[in-house]
Structure 1
Amino acid sequence: MLKRKNEYNYFDAFADLAKYSYKLAVALNETLCNFDHSNISEKVKAAHEIEHSADYAKHDIMNRLVKEFLPPIEREDITTLTQEIDDVTDSVEDVLIYIDMFNIQSIRPEIIKFTNLIVTCCKAMDEALEEFKNFKTSKTLRDKIIEINRLEEEGDALYVDSMRNLYHTSKDPIELMCWTEILHRLEKCCDTCEDVADIIESIVMKNS
């Protein structure tokens, strides 16, 4: 059956939503690689504008779904996947918020490794969602999902190494508290990308 020209494409909407996560991950990485404490509030504001745009895109999907007679996949799956993608964007923004809130003056080297990894994770998620529209015939979607899982495992290992290094090199309780929380937020970015991959895999299984 031919698709009507004005028919809403949820798969395109998922891919568009993921691009906000990737854009914010790139902004986070660039901010921390060129860290300047004096302008961190401006960077947080810019990040929030990206997150706010992502919220509008998420609400548009939900508003479309309310009026949809027969969505291409289950309504619950559309709702869950939309929220999980949005959670990635929120988690990336949280990292900058906590760096500002804790008045961080300089960035530890291992943090840059983490933000580089988050950019890679978000890019992999973006690519998986671009391919998701072809899930019934795709030869590469499964590999893209596996890659996100691999990157999340890399994030777990980096988290453990970074925490070990933190507690071996610092005895200052405030510094330990601040960086422990920030590292937790960084790890969560990778975890939420994997959550998106898990939902995609579940949808594919249910519709195959």
Structure 2
Amino acid sequence: MFNRLLPKNLGFFDLFERHAQHACEAAQAMQEALKALPNKAQIQCVQECEHQCDDVAHMTIELMRKTFITPFDREEIRHLISKMDDVADYVDAAATRLDLFEVKEAPKELKEICDVLVRAQKEVLKTMKLLRNMKNTQELQDVLKNINSLENEGDRLHRAGLVALFQGDVDPLTVIKLKDIYSMLEEAVDSCEDVAHVVEGIIIEHVG
């Protein structure tokens, strides 16, 4: 009862939304990069967005240290921002490999899994906006289900992409390069689902 009477610091929700927005921009820049390779400008944009995500993550942890009353448990905040940051990290890793490996053309399935990533991260952004007010938990649960469905679609595209790589007329070195990039994007989509799982736990803990 005491905790309910104390004001909550809404600064955390501002930071969650800001992080999710930067991660959206990173995913969209990756999406654009894959449309016309090589594309150093979009790859640089991914990297800049990832740095912004890191900055927001650090700000969140610093705010947590300075704040007496937090919106939910400190460990939940730390876990949430960590999983959110994983998305941007994996997108950045994929973009870096595109550049280092000098990939000239992206397979159809690689573009499609990135499309799924963009959609999933947009759902994460919706989640962060809804998290400010957990009274309408049904709407929040619907968004979390969408993320889960997109993760399943990402898994399917990942498998289809690998099958196409290994069964197609692709030289072994290119297979190795593209397989690595596929894995990074698939991990990014998985991380969106990880964020959804953390939020589900928060809902159970604080709403019931």
Same-fold status (TM-score > 0.5): yes
Whether contact under 8 Å (2:21, 2:125) holds in the other structure is yes
Equivalent residue runs for 1:68-79 within 5 Å: 68-79=67-78
1:69 Cα deviation (Å)? 0.8
Deviation for aligned residue 1:92: 1.1
Moved more, 141-150 or 107-116: 107-116
Q: Which residue of 2 aligns with 1:55?
A: 54
* Equivalent position of 2:13 in the other structure: 11
Which position in structure 1 is the counterpart of 2:95? 96
1:15 CA drift (Å): 1.6
Q: Provide the identity percentage.
A: 29
How far 1:175 moved relative to its partner?
A: 1.2
Give 2:25's aligned amino acid. K
Alpha-carbon shift at residue 171 of structure 1 (Å): 4.8
2:143 is matched by which residue type in structure 1? Answer: K
Q: Could you say what the CA RMSD is over the residues aligned between the two structures, in angstroms? A: 1.7
1:105-139 CA-partner distances (Å, limit 9, x unpaired):
22212211111111111111111111111224433
Q: CA deviation at 1:2?
A: 8.8
**Structure 1 residue ranges without an equivalent (≥5):** none
Asked if 2 retains the 8 angstrom alpha-carbon contact of 1:170 and 1:176, the reply is no
| CA shift in 2, pair 1:2/1:62, >3 Å | closer
Runs of 4+ residues deviating >3 angstroms: 1-4
User: Residue 111 of structure 1 aligns with which residue?
Assistant: 110
State the shift of 1:8 in Å: 4.2
Whole-angstrom CA distance in 1 between matches of 2:201 and 2:137:
15
Task: Note the C-alpha offset of 1:170.
Answer: 3.0
2:26 alignment partner in structure 1: 24
Helix, strand or coil at the partner of 2:137 = coil
Residue ranges of structure 2 left out of the alignment (5+ in a row): none
Letter paired with 1:151: L
CA-to-aligned-CA distance 1:89-114 (integer Å, 9 cap, x gap): 11111111111111112221221111
Partner of 2:167: 168
